[in-house]
Every structure is written in structure tokens, then in C-alpha cells.
Amino acid sequence: MSKDAKHKHAGADTAFGIDIGGSGIKGAPVDLKSGEFTADRVRIPTPQPATPQAVAQTVAEVVDSFDLDKGVPIGVTFPAVILHGVAQSAANVDDSWIGTDVAATVGGATGRRVLAVNDADAAGYAEVVYGAAKGVHGVVLVVTLGTGIGSALVVDGVLVPNTELGHLEIDGYDAESRASDAARDREDLSFEQWAERLQRYFSVVENLFWPDLIVVGGGVSKKHEQFLPLLDLRTRIVPAGLRNAAGIVGAARLAATGGR
């Protein structure tokens, strides 16, 4: 890269975000003022098996693809409950991650200080700072509809981590087993049929948290006109704004602010 490119990825207004998923590990430098990438993201397939050492080395490859100043904060999303940097669960990665300090493992491989955060929390936080919930005060709930249901709860700009609201038990079922986008696809539900299940899910959630705004993300949010208008909630509900960039952007922002 040129010296100008290196300069662009250094300084107080830049952080680096990495999104660790079951199929790919993606990363990009992020402008903290705008929430936009300052260079094209790099994606490397997730190693199989996705063990801590293998994933950490792949993350290091992604980081090394860029000419980053050593002081640039690094944030990584991870598909698990993360308590103080340590994975308490594992989804779409090897079970050996459970009990592993994600931040320390990735930090060791990259030679940098790393902050680790749940993937849905990172995406949701990005929506509050830069996306569909920007400027909204009070309680914001971001829900991602995909293989499962991810959730992020942000109160007056502060993330409440690891809410895992996709696993609420509703009518005797784990919520995501009935209302995720994967359930819609698996059962070949029409959007009208799926909306009935979403109505039940979101009604329970809004009665628990009384949010000021609900933001719906995940790939299916691109088709929001086909199901959001069918919902009858007291809470305003809108599609996410950042799409696939949200995890990287949120991880970068949280790394820069120390997780707050």
C-alpha cells in the first residue's frame, strides 16, 4: 500500500473491525466519524475445523492484509456469548472455543490489543451509532433474523451485552425455532404466515422491554416491505440500515471506545 493508504489507517479516527462467522472471516478499517469503511473489506474462508488457533491465525491474515498503525484499535465479533472477552458458547465454530479467551487468543496471534464482542451486539450497536437508530434516545432493541434470532439491547447509547433474546421460550418453543428466517425457509412459510409468528415474538419482547424503537436486521431485512407492514405493534419497527457492514463497524467502534 502507499504511504497515503497507511496514513488513512492510522490515527484517532480509525479502528479495525473483524466479523468472525461460520463460513467467512471479514475485516476492514472503519472511519469512526462516518461509520464507513476506509478500504475494501477482505474476506478469508473460516478454517475447518474452526479451532481457536486456526481462527486466530486467519484473523491475523486479515489484519496483515492492511497497513495498519500498531495503535489502531481492533474489535472482533464472535458467534457466542462473550463475558469479559471469554466465549461461553459456540455457534458455527468449534466447541473448543467454549471457555477460551477470544480477545487474548486473537490478540496473541495479531500482536495487538483486541476487544471481543458478541456478533449481534456489535451489529446492533452499529445501528444505534450510525444506522437506523442513530439519534434515538432511550431503549433500542435490534433483532437480526437469520439462521437464528440475534438481539442487541442499547439503552441511552450503552450496550447491554449478551441478551440472547432469540432463545426466549414462547408458547413452549425456543423462539428462534419458530420465528427465525431459517424457520420461514425450512417450513416454506409465506410472508403472511411468518408475520404471524413474528407478531407473537415481537409482542412478547416489547412487553418485556418497552423499547422506544425496534430495528430488524439480517439478510431478510432487504425484503422488509413484505413483512414489517403486517405487524401490529405499539413500538415503531424499522429495517436496519447498515446491512452486512454492521458487525465490522460495531466491533471497530466498540474497540475504540473500550466497549462502551
Q: What number is the average pLDDT over the span 214-234? A: 97
Neighbours of 158 (CB within 10 A): 12
* Amino acid 111: pLDDT: 95
* Amino acid 9: pLDDT: 59
Report the percent of the chain where pLDDT is more than 90: 91
Q: What number is the average pLDDT over the span 127-148? A: 97
Judged against a pLDDT cut of 70, whether residue 3 lies above it is answered with no
* Amino acid 10: pLDDT: 57
Residue of higher predicted confidence among 11 and 208: 208
Judged against a pLDDT cut of 70, whether residue 20 lies above it is answered with yes
In the DSSP assignment, the letter for residue 249 is H
Q: What number is the average pLDDT over the span 137-154? A: 96
Angle 85-92-244 from CA coordinates, rounded to 5°: 80
The mean-pLDDT minimum among 48-62, 83-97, 185-199 falls in 83-97
* Amino acid 183: pLDDT: 98
Q: What number is the average pLDDT over the span 135-155? A: 96
Q: Rounded to whole angstroms, what are the CA distances from 204 to 91, 198, 208, 226, 245?
A: 25, 10, 6, 21, 29
Judged against a pLDDT cut of 60, whether residue 2 lies above it is answered with no
* Amino acid 1: pLDDT: 42
Domains of the chain by start residue, with CATH: 3-122+245-256 (3.30.420.40), 135-241 (3.30.420.40)
Judged against a pLDDT cut of 60, whether residue 225 lies above it is answered with yes
Q: Which three cell numbers stand for residue 252?
A: 471497530
* Amino acid 82: pLDDT: 96
Report the percent of the chain where pLDDT is more than 70: 95
In the DSSP assignment, the letter for residue 153 is E
Please tell me the pTM assigned to this model.
0.92
pLDDT bin (cut points 50, 70, 90) of residue 187 is: very high
Residue of higher predicted confidence among 1 and 211: 211
User: How does pLDDT run across 7-19, given as a tens digit for each residue?
Assistant: 445 567 999 999 9
Helices (H), the chain: 3-8, 52-64, 102-110, 119-129, 175-179, 181-186, 191-209, 246-256
User: How does pLDDT run across 73-118, given as a tens digit for each residue?
Assistant: 999 999 999 999 999 998 878 999 999 999 999 999 999 999 999 9
Average pLDDT of the chain is 94
- Among residues 258, 259, 260, 206, the alpha carbon closest in space to that of 232 is found at 206
User: How does pLDDT run across 147-174, given as a tens digit for each residue?
Assistant: 999 999 999 999 999 999 999 999 999 9
CA 122 to chain centre: 4
* Amino acid 93: pLDDT: 85
Residue 154: partners with Cβ closer than 8 Å, 6 or more residues away? 124, 125, 128, 133, 139, 140, 142, 160
Q: Which three cell numbers stand for residue 65?
A: 492484509
* Amino acid 5: pLDDT: 44
Percent of the chain that is helix, strand, coil (3-state, to 5): 40, 25, 35
